[in-house]
Amino acid sequence: MLRNKEYRRFAVCFFVTAGVFTAAGFLTNSPAGLLVLLSSAALGILFYVFTRARYRSIAEISGQIDMVLHNADYLFISESEEGELSILRSEITKMTLRIREQNAALKKEKENLADSLADIAHQLRTPLTSVNLILSLLENNPEETERRELLQETEELLAQMDWLITSLLKLSRLDAGIVVFRSGPVDVRGLVDSALRPLLIPMELHSIALRADVPEGIEIQGDSDWLAEAIRNILKNCMESVGDQGRIEIACEDNLLYTELTIRDNGAGFEEKELCSLFDRFYRGKNSRAAGYGIGLALCRTIITRQGGTVTAENHPQGSAVFIIRFPK
């Protein structure tokens, strides 16, 4: 306690005051001086006992804080009676719980980051290995026809890598909160047309039949460019699922509660156990036709949920896949 400057000052003042009044009491008469001395001693002892107990409580709290700062796995803060120390203990308990939650979240985030980096490295390594192999074949292959085929395959692999890196950058920007969505009225029919426009030629090349039943005049609130990106990723997934001679249907329903956009293909659908993981990052379905990287649907969910919507996937009773995008009113 004597390390505390205020306590030392108080002790000096107390002893000086007690000494002065005791001397004055003895100068008056002996009983008065003795009474002042005993009273001063009793008050001094009571103050010492009370202050020592308070200092012990403060030292205990200080030790608990030190344990928190050194990341102790177990931290117990005992209960105390009502008062300032009880409030302080309560606040430290809240702080401890908050720090533990933040530490757990940071630990999980680090694990997810490590897993994501490993997945990214794996996803990039596969096309890079193929490109290196093709370059080796090009070096030793003099035939013009085969060289053209190999060069075309190389271009496709580089395009896949470019799409993967671009999508990962978009995801990282969304995760970091850098992207600011421009909320405004979006015509659903125009939104679907915008999402389909880059895919019409690939659909025609693969003979994929498309049916879009989206009435005019239906509007939702959101960022049209990002929403078109999300819908396009779902359509790409459907195209990979159906393959050649497939079929994709788009329908829209508008009611007093929500606006719903349904995208259905005639592919093999999903296994029940993978429906809960379908929109997870880097998750690839069991469908053997799927050649994606597990990025598109994760990006789609992030875009839609950040704008107040929901996106789910389920199996149609006939066995095909159905994606449902819903925006509440």
- Per-residue pLDDT of 16-44, as tens digits, reads 888 888 888 777 777 877 887 888 888 88
- Assess if residue 90 is contained within a domain: no
What's the rounded mean pLDDT across residues 43-71?
76
Residues 142, 166 within the same domain: yes
pLDDT recorded at residue 268: 82
Q: Which residues pair with 230 in a beta bridge?
A: none
3-state secondary structure of 39: helix
Distance CA 192, CA 216 (A): 11
Residues 145, 65 within the same domain: no
Distance CA 278, CA 241 (A): 13
Residues 165, 251 within the same domain: no
pLDDT over threshold 80, residue 126: no
Each as own residue / partner, the long-range contacts of residues 11-14 (CB below 8 Å, 24 or more positions apart, any chain) are 14/40, 14/44, 14/47
**pLDDT range class, residue 288, cuts 50, 70, 90:** very low
At 222, give phi and psi (nearest 5°): 165, -170
Pick the most confident of 236-240, 280-284, 285-289: 236-240
Residues 152, 232 within the same domain: no
Residues 169, 212 within the same domain: no
Residues 146, 239 within the same domain: no
Residues 196, 171 within the same domain: no
- Assess if residue 318 is contained within a domain: yes
pLDDT over threshold 80, residue 59: no
- Assess if residue 35 is contained within a domain: yes
Residues 188, 324 within the same domain: yes
Residues 207, 319 within the same domain: yes
- Assess if residue 94 is contained within a domain: no
Of the listed ranges 103-112, 223-232, 265-274, the one predicted with least confidence:
103-112
**pLDDT range class, residue 194, cuts 50, 70, 90:** very high
Pick the most confident of 100-104, 105-109, 153-157, 224-228: 224-228
Sole residue written with tokens 């799409």: 163
**pLDDT range class, residue 61, cuts 50, 70, 90:** confident
Distance CA 231, CA 229 (A): 6
Handedness of CA 34, 39, 40, 42 (dihedral sign): positive
**Residue whose C-alpha is closest to residue 192's, from 211, 212, 222, 220:** 212
3-state secondary structure of 139: helix
The type of residue at 251 is: A
Distance CA 318, CA 320 (A): 6
pLDDT over threshold 50, residue 49: yes
- Assess if residue 88 is contained within a domain: no
Joined tokens for residue 90: 């309560």
Of the listed ranges 98-107, 251-260, 312-321, the one predicted with least confidence:
98-107
pLDDT recorded at residue 112: 67
- Assess if residue 110 is contained within a domain: no
pLDDT over threshold 70, residue 175: yes
**pLDDT range class, residue 213, cuts 50, 70, 90:** very high
How many domains are there within the chain?
3
- Show the domain range for 62: 5-76
More confident residue, 282 or 232: 232
Tallying the residues shown for the chain, one arrives at: 329
The type of residue at 128 is: L
pLDDT over threshold 60, residue 177: yes
Q: Are 259 and 252 in contact (CB under 8 A)?
A: yes
- Assess if residue 49 is contained within a domain: yes
Of 176, 193, 214, the position where a domain reaches its end is: 176
DSSP annotation of 281 reads T
Distance CA 246, CA 238 (A): 9
What's the rounded mean pLDDT across residues 266-292?
73
Residues 240, 320 within the same domain: yes
Element (H, E) at 252: strand 247-254
Of 52, 76, 100, the position where a domain reaches its end is: 76
What's the rounded mean pLDDT across residues 312-321?
86
Mean pLDDT of the chain: 81
Q: Are 227 and 261 in contact (CB under 8 A)?
A: no
Joined tokens for residue 115: 């897993």
Joined tokens for residue 117: 């980096």
Residues 6+ apart with CB under 8 A from 184: 221, 222, 223, 224
Of the listed ranges 98-102, 122-126, 153-157, the one predicted with least confidence:
122-126
- Assess if residue 65 is contained within a domain: yes
**pLDDT range class, residue 167, cuts 50, 70, 90:** confident
More confident residue, 174 or 245: 245
Residues 153, 192 within the same domain: no
pLDDT recorded at residue 311: 95
Of 14, 48, 76, the position where a domain reaches its end is: 76
